[in-house]
Structure 1
Amino acid sequence: MYSKMALNNVKKSFKDYTIYFLTLTFAVCIFYSFNSIDSQSVMADMNKGQTEYVKIMGQMISVISIGVSVILGGLIIYATKFLINRRKKEFGIYMVLGMPKRKMSKILFFETLYIGIISLVAGLIFGLLFAQVLSIFTAKLFAMQMTKYSFVISTSSILKTILYFGIMYLLVMIFNVFIISRYKLIDLLCANKKNEEVKIRNPYLATFILMVSLVVLGYAYYLVNKAGLDFYDNRFKLSIVFGIIGTALFFYGIASVVFFIFQKNKNLYLNGLNIFSIRQISSKFNTNFISMTIICLMLFVTIGTLSTGLAVKNSLEGTLKNQTPFDASLQVFDNEKSSNIISPVDALKQLNYNLEDNSDYTILRQYQYDMSTKDLLDKYATTDGEKQTLNIKIFEKISMIKLSEYNSMRKLKGETSIDLKNDEIVIASNYAPIEGILKGFIEKENSIKIGDKEFKIKEKKIETEALSTSPTSDNMFTLIVTDDLVAGLEPSEEVLNLNFSGNNKEEAKNELTTIFNNSTFDNSESKKVNYTIYGLTREMAYDASRGLSAMILFIAVYIGIVLLLSSAAVLALQQLSQCNESIERYKCLRQIGATKNMINKSIFKQVAIFFALPLALSIVHSYVGISVVNTYLIALGTGNQFTSILVTALIMLIVYGGYLYATYVAYKNIANNEYK
């Protein structure tokens, strides 16, 4: 009997359950599709390196899913509380008819069970479809051509989804029993008669608090710009603390200040239902400033995560072509001395790799000259970030390359040689974080003093070409000098660059790839073979860059969408809950002559402002945060930041805007239904 009553209740209250049901369905869909990414058909077309990156991504998503399930569990409990409050009068009637609380809990148990089963089934169906889209998206991220496609169902991910959401629903059922046990009959029967107190704070105190919040937030922005992303810097930690405090104070004071300003403007305040709308909005913000603070911070993390994840992808892949000029590059490191003075040519010969027949190659050696790059460039570093960059150890000395070897490298790339006079040098760097420093240096300086001699900077420009095949910048700051200038210096690095040649290019590439994957070689009988080879083919460099960017992007989108979904759902449920508490007010409005259209406009204003204000402040937070992050992203390369911002805005518009509209429709229906 109780299960049948519960089923009928779900059917009758479907409109009340719509946002709740859609939120759960969407959550299950996202949860399953992201957790099944390493089981999709795209894996069949991936090479070994790409497969490893996807497996690592799957493992990371699996760990993050534990935190995601906690967030979604809290969301479900919050939503359930709203649904129970909506039906207090119904439960009161049950109690009047003699139904014990234990039986009421049983009805709620079955209702939660039915909703859980429906949302799980619907979410898994949509998740199965969305997972196929993610599979195609993954192939695009790795620039793959899928030779075959098959619809894949991940049994392990289905079981994980059922397990995680089953635990969540079990907690919800326990929560329901606890809530029901605390109800008193008089509270249930009179729930719709109670009216919330309209709280309007002292406007002068609110104004002071609002001004303090702006100062605190401004100081937080200042600190984070100074500290950057140095998590160990106390200024960074303080920026987080002040950011949270400032946000809370902002929402504490803003509503009363705005209410006071509008109240002074009689033409606006007394126009239509503005007096009612403004008081409603002010009361809601005053009552819910803590939850608004949390939602604002969640939206900030959402925007920052999504836009940064997309920006990292664009940055990593934006310079790949320039960073991979050769078919392969490698260095050899002595395992005992942690240096790379072992010749790559000798190392490959010892491993029986036929370098001469398989490729055209050149050796590029770098020499460390006892002169500080930091001292040379320091006065052109204009920001704290640039000054911190110059503190990297590699800038303690100046790196130099022989002109002859540099020209050999250019010849291998199919470029013309350059000529240098005895008093000329060339500056080379493709490290984006010091691009501004070098621009200022090259504009003001015509020469560099090395030892006792001045060397003119040839053509007063910076060479930005890559010196080897690498997924990221490989040349921080290097001087191209005549051979005699480095005479007597020992090379600090030795890189072998090669292009495959002959009739067996594919076999040669596969053989070299195997050597790179094995990496470490040790022969206990001969200490001559005790080294580590670090190298990448062009394909490996592309896979490394795309694999890293895919991991960051998927995790960013996964976390971002879950937080966005939770924020929007909480806002929606808060609005609908407060609508129930304000029903008597809407009845009064109708009785004094307010039309349905006027009431609907008032409802839209309330919902829109309630959604817009935390979003607006989160956008300001995000602008500051993204600006700080971008100073670090340029180290990965340059990318189209506008695209990442545009895609983030589109996701926010679809999800957040969709919830705003759905809340408005549901709010309007609840308010209008009371008049029928």
Structure 2
Amino acid sequence: MYIKLAKRNMERSLKIYTIYFLTLVFGVCIFYTFNSIGSQKIMMKLNEYEVHSFQKIDELMAIVSIFISCILGFLIIYANSYLIKRRKKEFGIYLTLGMENREISNILLIETILIGVFSLGLGLLLGVFLSQGMSIFTAKLFHVKMESFRFIFSSGAFIKTIAYFAVIYLVVFIFNVISITKLKPVDLLTDGRKNEKIKVKNLKTSMIIFIISIICIAVAYFIILDKNSGIIFINRTIIIPITLAVIGTFLLFFSLSGFLLRLVQISKRVYLKELNTFLLRQINSKINTTFVSLSFACLMIFMSICMLAGGFSISKTLNKNIDDSPQYDISLLYVGEPPINEFLNKNIYLNYYAEDYVTYYEYYNKNQNEQLGIKTYIGKDEGEKKSSYATVAKNDLITIIKLSDFNRIMKFYKKEGITLNKGEYAAFGDIKELLPSIQKAMDKKTKIKVNGQDLIPSKQPVMQFTMDAIPAKTNSCTFIVRDELIGGLTPTLGFLNLNFKGDKSKKEKEFLKEINTLDDNKETGTTCICSTREQLIASTFGRAGIVSYLALYIGLIFLIISAVILSLQQLSQSADNIERYKLLKKMGVDDEMLNKTILKQTAIYFMMPLFLALIHSIVGLKVAKVIVNCLGTNNVAEQLLITTLIFIIIYGGYFWITYIGAKKMVR
């Protein structure tokens, strides 16, 4: 009998709460897909560095999946609470007919098992097929070739998915049993007739709370966007504006139920139009009881927008930096005495390894009065405009390179060098958006002082050029001066860029071994850091992959959870108000007006958290832009198109399905 009842209840729940079951299936599918990434590498031609990057991504996905499973567990428990609420009358009848709580718990256990098997089976099946498409995305992300396409099944991801969701369903069952045992038959039978209690009745109190919420949010925005404290210097103090924004969000939704209805009542024309009186009281009642979940939904939507747009921008920026980086086989960064040329000639026979190579130094003015920061150089107005760039906000010192070194570098990259007359300087950088500001300063004949001598800009325009093989573009500006001015300057870092000759793979291994031997020898008093182009590409694409996967994984889950919470609440309210809708029909309200009211109610409920989340995102995306600008240059706004499409498909899809479901339920 229990199995029969459980099967019937599950079939009925599937009809009423299709969104809930689809979300379970989708959650299982996403969970399996992202945990199977490590298995996809067998289809790709990878070097040892790329294999290592894949392992790092796989390890990170395992850690993130623990967090995701907790979030999904919360969603499932939350959704079940609404399923239980929808069925309170049914359970009350069971208890009235003589069933015990233990027997109802048995029914719930069987239902949980059936739901778990159903969602796990279908979700895993979809996940296995989706992971095949993910492998193509991964290959493009890492810029690697697929040796041959083959059907991949990750046994590790399969077992992990079953284990995680089995634990989640066990917790759901325990939660359901506790919920049932706490309620009495009379409460179960009459629950649908009870009106919600208003949390805040006093209009004055509601307005005060609303004003406090606006102040909290405004102060949070001010702290984050303040030019002095700055979003550049993200540290532990960032917790202060985040906390204020979260508190402000909760207080705002908490206060709405106290004055939203009265605010609309001021305009009788709006309040008394069609079924607006009924509609607004429904919305007011719902906000009153669900302000916590509305606040969470708003914050998750905000995080989803920032993660998707910011994550894709960071990934694109890192990949673009590789395309723009210098083309050489290996780069060596040198710190120590003697100078890099002398050290290399003494310890390494470069002609054995190199087909071509170049060495150079970067310098700072020794005299602090002559040291110049990028913000000081481009001026206050331009500095304020470009304050989203870390180097400008912190007024990083501008480095100096001598003319002969620069021309050797240009020759190494098969580009033309430049000439400088006495008393002149030139400039270059690798952050495209800062170049116009530098050019303006040069057009104004801005003087600089190097080694005690005043210099004016040459006629050579500022150049966009990348010297260093690092995944982030951080060279806002470097000055080029004649060699005779370098004598009194302080060398900072020495560089060697080299192309191997002959058997490059063999020469690379020998060179790295020799460098490591020198670096381990403390008697030399030097530090050498080597990175090959393969290492650079693998590490950069690895970072891009991690960011992209995290953005997709967490952003999608947060978006789905927020949409599901709003959807379940609307469907639950529609189910609870069936008698009210029947009464409206008896009073002469036609189906068209009822459907229009349901559409308005669903739209308003979905739009409230989305609207505030979009306002939060304006500030959040500025923070994301700063982080992206620390790595290079990429417009975060460009990625909003992709994010918007994702929102239209998922959030808009859940909204429309909720409206259709509520309309069918009422009909």
Same fold by TM (over 0.5)?
yes
After TM superposition, the structure 1 stretch with the greater mean CA deviation from structure 2, 549-558 or 423-432, is 423-432
CA 1:344–1:462: 2 relative to 1, 3 Å: same
Structure 1, residues 513-537: CA drift from partner, whole Å, max 9, x if none?
674599632598x767786542334
> How far apart are the structure 1 equivalents of 2:646 and 2:341?
49
CA 1:435–1:361: 2 relative to 1, 3 Å: same
The offset of 1:609, in angstroms, is 0.9
The offset of 1:150, in angstroms, is 1.0
Query: Is the 1:192–1:583 contact (alpha carbons within 8 Å) kept by the matching residues of 2?
Result: no
> How far apart are the structure 1 equivalents of 2:102 and 2:388?
66
- The structure 1 residue matched to 2:321, chosen from 319, 322, 325, is 319
The offset of 1:447, in angstroms, is 2.4
1:48-63 correspondence to structure 2 within 5 Å: 48-63=48-63
> How far apart are the structure 1 equivalents of 2:333 and 2:43?
31
Structure 1, residues 459-502: CA drift from partner, whole Å, max 9, x if none?
2632221123332226343221111111355643221223455x
Q: Show the counterpart of 2:639.
A: 644
Q: Show the counterpart of 1:336.
A: none
The answer to whether the aligner puts 1:562 opposite 2:557 as a matched pair is yes
- The structure 2 residue matched to 1:586, chosen from 575, 581, 589, is 581
The offset of 1:196, in angstroms, is 3.6
SS of the counterpart of 1:367? strand
CA 1:202–1:471: 2 relative to 1, 3 Å: same
Instruction: Return the letter of the residue paired with 1:578.
Output: Q
The answer to whether the aligner puts 1:438 opposite 2:438 as a matched pair is yes
- The structure 1 residue matched to 2:656, chosen from 661, 664, 672, is 661
Structure 1, residues 179-233: CA drift from partner, whole Å, max 9, x if none?
1212211122223333445788444544444344333322210111123154545
After TM superposition, the structure 1 stretch with the greater mean CA deviation from structure 2, 88-97 or 166-175, is 88-97
CA 1:403–1:230: 2 relative to 1, 3 Å: closer
Query: Is the 1:73–1:168 contact (alpha carbons within 8 Å) kept by the matching residues of 2?
Result: yes
SS of the counterpart of 1:190? helix
1:154-165 correspondence to structure 2 within 5 Å: 154-165=154-165
> How far apart are the structure 2 equivalents of 1:114 and 1:514?
61
> How far apart are the structure 1 equivalents of 2:626 and 2:342?
38
Q: Show the counterpart of 1:272.
A: 274
1:420-569 correspondence to structure 2 within 5 Å: 420-431=420-431, 438=438, 441-459=441-459, 461-473=461-473, 475-487=475-487, 489=489, 491-500=491-500, 504=502, 507-509=503-505, 511-512=507-508, 515-516=511-512, 520-521=516-517, 533-569=528-564
Q: Show the counterpart of 2:340.
A: 343
Instruction: Return the letter of the residue paired with 2:340.
Output: S
After TM superposition, the structure 1 stretch with the greater mean CA deviation from structure 2, 555-564 or 368-377, is 368-377
The offset of 1:390, in angstroms, is 5.6
Query: Is the 1:323–1:473 contact (alpha carbons within 8 Å) kept by the matching residues of 2?
Result: no
> How far apart are the structure 2 equivalents of 1:201 and 1:348?
83
Q: Show the counterpart of 1:30.
A: 30
Instruction: Return the letter of the residue paired with 2:316.
Output: N
SS of the counterpart of 1:611? helix
CA 1:340–1:101: 2 relative to 1, 3 Å: farther
Query: Is the 2:326–2:467 contact (alpha carbons within 8 Å) kept by the matching residues of 1?
Result: no
SS of the counterpart of 2:462? strand
1:182-197 correspondence to structure 2 within 5 Å: 182-196=182-196
Query: Is the 2:362–2:493 contact (alpha carbons within 8 Å) kept by the matching residues of 1?
Result: yes
SS of the counterpart of 1:330? strand
Q: CA RMSD in A?
A: 2.9
> How far apart are the structure 1 equivalents of 2:390 and 2:148?
50
SS of the counterpart of 2:634? coil
SS of the counterpart of 1:130? helix
Instruction: Return the letter of the residue paired with 1:241.
Output: T
The offset of 1:70, in angstroms, is 1.0
> How far apart are the structure 2 equivalents of 1:663 and 1:307?
26
Instruction: Return the letter of the residue paired with 1:473.
Output: K
After TM superposition, the structure 1 stretch with the greater mean CA deviation from structure 2, 414-423 or 458-467, is 458-467
Q: Show the counterpart of 2:251.
A: 249
After TM superposition, the structure 1 stretch with the greater mean CA deviation from structure 2, 46-55 or 207-216, is 207-216
> How far apart are the structure 1 equivalents of 2:526 and 2:143?
34
> How far apart are the structure 2 equivalents of 1:29 and 1:104?
31
> How far apart are the structure 1 equivalents of 2:522 and 2:220?
56
Query: Is the 2:89–2:189 contact (alpha carbons within 8 Å) kept by the matching residues of 1?
Result: yes
Q: Show the counterpart of 2:97.
A: 97
Structure 1 alignment gaps of length 5 or more: 334-338
CA 1:612–1:591: 2 relative to 1, 3 Å: same
> How far apart are the structure 2 equivalents of 1:553 and 1:455?
46
Structure 1, residues 513-572: CA drift from partner, whole Å, max 9, x if none?
674599632598x76778654233444333222211111111121111111121111111
Instruction: Return the letter of the residue paired with 1:166.
Output: A
User: What percent of counterpart residues are identical?
Assistant: 35
Structure 1, residues 13-68: CA drift from partner, whole Å, max 9, x if none?
32124112111111111111111101114554222111211211111111111111
Q: Show the counterpart of 2:312.
A: 310
Query: Is the 2:139–2:146 contact (alpha carbons within 8 Å) kept by the matching residues of 1?
Result: yes
Instruction: Return the letter of the residue paired with 2:586.
Output: Q
Query: Is the 2:37–2:135 contact (alpha carbons within 8 Å) kept by the matching residues of 1?
Result: yes
Instruction: Return the letter of the residue paired with 1:367.
Output: Y
The offset of 1:117, in angstroms, is 0.6
> How far apart are the structure 1 equivalents of 2:489 and 2:447?
22
The offset of 1:652, in angstroms, is 1.4
> How far apart are the structure 2 equivalents of 1:387 and 1:29?
39
The answer to whether the aligner puts 1:598 opposite 2:593 as a matched pair is yes
After TM superposition, the structure 1 stretch with the greater mean CA deviation from structure 2, 59-68 or 467-476, is 467-476
Query: Is the 1:323–1:472 contact (alpha carbons within 8 Å) kept by the matching residues of 2?
Result: no
SS of the counterpart of 1:651? helix
Query: Is the 1:53–1:551 contact (alpha carbons within 8 Å) kept by the matching residues of 2?
Result: no
Instruction: Return the letter of the residue paired with 2:448.
Output: I
Q: Show the counterpart of 2:116.
A: 116
CA 1:394–1:243: 2 relative to 1, 3 Å: closer
Query: Is the 1:424–1:458 contact (alpha carbons within 8 Å) kept by the matching residues of 2?
Result: yes
Query: Is the 2:220–2:241 contact (alpha carbons within 8 Å) kept by the matching residues of 1?
Result: yes
CA 1:555–1:582: 2 relative to 1, 3 Å: same
Instruction: Return the letter of the residue paired with 1:288.
Output: T
Q: Show the counterpart of 2:332.
A: 330
After TM superposition, the structure 1 stretch with the greater mean CA deviation from structure 2, 124-133 or 269-278, is 269-278
CA 1:372–1:41: 2 relative to 1, 3 Å: closer
1:323-402 correspondence to structure 2 within 5 Å: 323-333=325-335, 339=336, 341=338, 343=340, 347=344, 350=347, 355-356=351-352, 358-370=354-366, 371-374=370-373, 376-377=376-377, 379-380=379-380, 381-382=383-384, 385=387, 389=391, 395=397, 399-402=399-402
Query: Is the 2:34–2:553 contact (alpha carbons within 8 Å) kept by the matching residues of 1?
Result: yes
SS of the counterpart of 1:272? coil
The offset of 1:246, in angstroms, is 1.8
SS of the counterpart of 2:359? strand
CA 1:207–1:144: 2 relative to 1, 3 Å: same
SS of the counterpart of 2:497? strand
Instruction: Return the letter of the residue paired with 1:105.
Output: S
Structure 2 alignment gaps of length 5 or more: none
> How far apart are the structure 1 equivalents of 2:249 and 2:353?
66
1:63-102 correspondence to structure 2 within 5 Å: 63-102=63-102
The offset of 1:384, in angstroms, is 9.8
The offset of 1:351, in angstroms, is 6.3
Q: Show the counterpart of 1:217.
A: 217
Query: Is the 2:365–2:490 contact (alpha carbons within 8 Å) kept by the matching residues of 1?
Result: no
Instruction: Return the letter of the residue paired with 2:273.
Output: N
CA 1:229–1:112: 2 relative to 1, 3 Å: farther
SS of the counterpart of 1:252? helix
